[in-house]
Amino acid sequence: MSETDPFRLFADWFAEACESEPNDPDAMALATATPDGRPSVRMVLLKGHGPDGFTFYTNLDSRKGVEISANARAALLFHWKSVRRQVRIEGPVGPVRDPEADAYFGTRSRDSQLGAWASWQSRPLDSRDTFEKRYEEMVRRFEGEAVPRPPRWSGFRVIPELFEFWSDRPHRLHDRRIFTPAGSGWQEGLLYP
């Protein structure tokens, strides 16, 4: 029987990808755009998913953070070559609450926590040496104490308004299932390959 709840279908596909994908099954392409429509895309890691949306974390002053603040819509793409599937998700983006961001930040390795303090993500860097010196400054600054979440580091959640589940088929006769909101549930349709 085919799953008609896109969140459950995603969870099933994601679980399969986690068992077979050799590297980073949680990697997703995140597309954002400036208010005038200039797009950019990069890979980020999925850190949570469910009926409330799809969560990732970043420096709020990074290019993606700035673009989301100005144009709070995004698209995600998961591509799992090992199972020959992909999932596209589109929708508005909202911030996670501080306690949630704090809790996730606390699960990161200490080196990653220090790196979040040392990095001015997406800003020009004159040399790798400059960044490594900033990192060493953070090592000294937080020596012997817990590393708190930086004030300009948090998470975002994409709230789906569209799901597309793509399955590879021979001769490019692929299967494309699309889900859009309908009342309190979801309406399913098909797209030509």
- Please report, in tens digits, the pLDDT of each residue of the chain (193 residues total): 357 899 999 999 999 999 999 999 999 999 999 999 999 999 999 999 999 999 999 999 999 999 999 999 999 999 999 999 999 999 999 999 999 999 999 999 999 999 999 999 999 999 999 999 999 999 999 999 999 999 999 999 999 999 999 999 999 999 999 999 999 999 999 999 9
The pTM score is: 0.93
In a domain, 72, yes or no: yes
Q: Is 143 within a domain? A: no
Does the residue 159 lie in any domain?
yes
What whole-number distance in Å separates Cα of residue 112 and Cα of residue 115?
A: 5
* Active-site residue, selected from the candidate residues 152, 172, 176, 177: 172
How many folded domains does the chain comprise? 1
Where residue 22 sits, what CATH number does that domain have?
2.30.110.10
Q: Is residue 126 included in any domain, yes or no?
A: no
Q: Is 172 a catalytic residue?
A: yes
Tell me if 174 is assigned to some domain. yes
The residue range of the domain holding 186 is 6-103+154-190
Residue 98: inside a domain, yes or no?
yes
